[in-house]
Chains A and B, each alone.
Chain A
Amino acid sequence: MDLSPFETDNSVSCRLVSQIPDVCKIEDCCLGIDEAGRGPVLGPMVYGICFCPVSKKEELKGLKVADSKTLTEAERENLFQKLDEARNYVGWALQILSPNTISTSMLQRTKYNLNALSHDTAIGLVQYALDSGVQLKEVYVDTVGPAEKYEEKLSQRFPGIDVTVRPKADSLFPIVSAASICAKVARDRVVKGWNFTEDLGEVDTDYGSGYPNDPKTKAWLLKYLDPVFGYPQFVRFSWSTAQTLMDSKAVTVHWDDDDEDGEKAAHRQHNRSMLSYFSASAGGNDQNPNHQTHRFLTERRLKSLDTL
């Protein structure tokens, strides 16, 4: 697995693919989808697909691929090696969603939540397989959100393909297990060799599991919190763990789509209090209330100053 395309720029989403086995372009194929790194506050989320001819399902079982969570890292590496050796009938493709991609998607003006991002990534990978000429007939997915809805969405998106969405699909279908191993191996390698684009000097890489409830991860987050910039791009800013820490320890930053209420916000939005209509004079700073600044200036947000 060559991670260099992602490592050259780890701020974006990146696709890594294997060779498409010739047999997959002729025979009916099945495809499994799974992800790794959905929960952690650190590092990327990796989506993986694995596909092989339906006729080779048994051979895949023979490789004893199992749910990646039940395996040690060494076992996973080992199994990935085996999948790689079976490259004449097993193909895979990965989409690495960098933590930065996740942060910017979830925090952008029109919010793009993690489920939607997951669904779209999965769809993108299936479409990639189709575009590469893989004769897809069956697709197996571990669910994200309600299974029926997801199954319906995928079935509609890919008519003619038999879509099965199941919770725990990674332990039920070997092809999904294979996909989960590819994804997990890629994530482990990316996290281990993370290139920090920020100038942090010697980075302490002892950040534990990366999951929000891991005390090591929390300690690391606290250590690398910059009061102005927050975190390195390795951190998912959209995670509440990161946000809570930034809210309490970092400088407050206001964006114009923040929800604000209260008197000050109203004042900024130039809403006048009902009471102001009854008082004698608003008592504003303007000495000459009759004078209305010309729209040339107001349209350009220009105003005079009396002091610096």
Chain B
Amino acid sequence: MATKKKRTPNVQNDSWVVVAADSVIDTQKPDSDPTFVRLRNPVTDAASLYMLGGGDAQLYEVKAFEEDFHSWFVGQTVQRDGRLLFITPMDPLYLILPYLIKAGKEGKFQPVDQVVMDEEFPGCSRLLSCTRSLASLHHISEEKEVGSLKFHRYSQEKTMNWLQKKVERTVASLKKRNISVGEGVKSTTYVRVKSESDYSEEDYLRYAHGLISEYISEDLSKALLRHLQLPELTSPKETEPPSKKRKLSDKPVEAGEDYTKFNSADFARKPPKKMTAAQKTLAKVDKTGMKPMSSFFSPKVKAEKK
């Protein structure tokens, strides 16, 4: 079968296959359904999809498993995208952090609800309703209380310490789950007889740092690397290819291949065995009275020289 299959672009679905944390549906307030919100992604500075659940009490990130050639059978229907959405809890501080950093450049203490504002993503103010947000702001900022009002100012030092703790926790988690953090490519399904304890602490730190960097800006990521006292990796210098010059020797030079057989008298070029379909149809064409292509290049016929 040689028919070419055309790929039609994915049609928008109105249903998804989702794996979500229990807490997403376990809403304490019955009237508050979890909602998808588009918020500024601290890494790309562009929109990413998040979810707010339980009356904005908890923030979740949305990740999609996507691979070619997958589809779902859902009940009695087929869903063409084999996508699997994961909705997992996320620390809202990661999303608040860029706003604080931006405001921190002014050097003033400010109330957070004035800081976490975004014309492009008005939903960002909802981040402050998350239970953890206000309570954990002190991890990334200095606080001042005036009466009943609280003022905050971004602190790089505090943030670094906070991120370092995140990295350390991630390292612990990586170890617990036996995640391969080495440089070499290893199959995750490959069952090892010996537990691999030969990863160095630095391997784990770098891996965890990389994971945390999925949630912070590039500048912050670099700063964190310095804070963790990990030297920046430079791409290995291109080593010059070994010279291909042959070593000189006193031995007589011999030809690598023997072409002499083509010169022998009985050598005849064999006709090509198979023709393509197109060549076959061409061969069937009635060629009477037609000049071969080569005749146009051969010397003029002598008949003219009379």
**Chain A residues close to B by CB (< 8 Å):** 228, 240, 243-244, 247, 252, 254-256, 258, 260-262, 264, 268, 286-288, 290-291, 293-297, 299-308
Interface residue B7 (Cβ < 8 Å from any Cβ of A): yes
Give the residues in chain B near A261, CB-CB below 8 Å.
4
25 contacts between A and B (CB under 8 A): A228-B78, A243-B1, A247-B1, A247-B3, A254-B7, A254-B68, A255-B69, A256-B68, A258-B5, A260-B5, A264-B7, A287-B46, A288-B46, A290-B218, A291-B43, A291-B218, A294-B211, A294-B214, A301-B66, A302-B63, A302-B65, A306-B46, A307-B47, A308-B16, A308-B49
Give the residues in chain A near B8, CB-CB below 8 Å.
252
> Which residues from 45 to 63 on chain B have a C-beta closer than 8 Å to any C-beta of chain A?
45-49, 61-63
Q: A262 to B36: give the CA distance in the assembly, Å.
A: 37
**Chain B residues close to A by CB (< 8 Å):** 1, 3-8, 16, 36, 38, 41, 43-49, 61-69, 78, 85-86, 179, 188, 207, 210-211, 213-214, 218
Given contacts A288-B45, A291-B43, A296-B179, contact A304 B62 (CB under 8 A): yes
Give the residues in chain A near B213, CB-CB below 8 Å.
294
Closest B residue to A288 using CB positions: B44
Q: A287 to B78: give the CA distance in the assembly, Å.
A: 33
Give the residues in chain B near A299, CB-CB below 8 Å.
188
Closest B residue to A304 using CB positions: B48
Q: Lowest 8 A-B CB distances belong to which pairs?
A: A287-B46, A256-B69, A305-B49, A294-B210, A288-B44, A306-B47, A302-B63, A287-B44
Given contacts A288-B43, A305-B48, list 6 more A-B pairs with CB under 8 A.
A288-B218, A294-B210, A303-B63, A304-B49, A305-B62, A308-B36
| Minimum Cβ distance to chain A for residue B178 (Å) | 13
- A306's partner among B38, B61, B63, B218 (CB-CB below 8 A) is B38
- A254's partner among B5, B16, B188 (CB-CB below 8 A) is B5
| Minimum Cβ distance to chain A for residue B3 (Å) | 5
Closest B residue to A262 using CB positions: B4
Interface of A, secondary structure class, is loop
Closest B residue to A265 using CB positions: B7
| Minimum Cβ distance to chain A for residue B170 (Å) | 10
A296 touches B207 (CB 8 A): yes
Give the residues in chain B near A260, CB-CB below 8 Å.
4-5
Given contacts A297-B214, A299-B188, contact A307 B5 (CB under 8 A): no
Give the residues in chain A near B85, CB-CB below 8 Å.
305
Closest A residue to B9 using CB positions: A264
Given contacts A252-B6, A288-B218, A291-B44, contact A240 B1 (CB under 8 A): yes
Closest B residue to A293 using CB positions: B214
Q: A75 to B86: give the CA distance in the assembly, Å.
A: 66
| Minimum Cβ distance to chain B for residue A294 (Å) | 4
Q: A262 to B78: give the CA distance in the assembly, Å.
A: 27
- B64's partner among A252, A294, A295, A305 (CB-CB below 8 A) is A305
Closest B residue to A229 using CB positions: B78
Q: A268 to B62: give the CA distance in the assembly, Å.
A: 23
Give the residues in chain A near B44, CB-CB below 8 Å.
286-288, 291
Q: A308 to B16: give the CA distance in the assembly, Å.
A: 9
Closest B residue to A301 using CB positions: B67
| Minimum Cβ distance to chain B for residue A269 (Å) | 9
Closest A residue to B78 using CB positions: A228
A296 touches B49 (CB 8 A): no
| Minimum Cβ distance to chain A for residue B123 (Å) | 13
| Minimum Cβ distance to chain B for residue A242 (Å) | 11
Q: A262 to B4: give the CA distance in the assembly, Å.
A: 10
- A296's partner among B43, B86, B211 (CB-CB below 8 A) is B211
| Minimum Cβ distance to chain A for residue B53 (Å) | 16
| Minimum Cβ distance to chain B for residue A305 (Å) | 4
- A307's partner among B3, B6, B38, B218 (CB-CB below 8 A) is B38
Q: Most chain-A CB neighbours within 10 Å: which of B5, B48, B49, B188? A: B5
| Minimum Cβ distance to chain A for residue B235 (Å) | 13
A252 touches B5 (CB 8 A): yes
Q: A243 to B5: give the CA distance in the assembly, Å.
A: 13
| Minimum Cβ distance to chain B for residue A259 (Å) | 8
- B65's partner among A255, A296, A300 (CB-CB below 8 A) is A300
Q: A288 to B216: give the CA distance in the assembly, Å.
A: 13
Q: A290 to B217: give the CA distance in the assembly, Å.
A: 11
Closest B residue to A287 using CB positions: B46
| Minimum Cβ distance to chain A for residue B197 (Å) | 20
B49 touches A306 (CB 8 A): yes
Give the residues in chain B near A308, CB-CB below 8 Å.
16, 36, 49
| Minimum Cβ distance to chain B for residue A293 (Å) | 7
| Minimum Cβ distance to chain B for residue A308 (Å) | 6
Give the residues in chain A near B3, CB-CB below 8 Å.
247
| Minimum Cβ distance to chain B for residue A267 (Å) | 10
| Minimum Cβ distance to chain B for residue A284 (Å) | 12
- A302's partner among B38, B48, B86 (CB-CB below 8 A) is B86
| Minimum Cβ distance to chain B for residue A249 (Å) | 13
Closest B residue to A297 using CB positions: B214
Give the residues in chain A near B49, CB-CB below 8 Å.
304-308
| Minimum Cβ distance to chain A for residue B163 (Å) | 15
Q: A294 to B62: give the CA distance in the assembly, Å.
A: 16
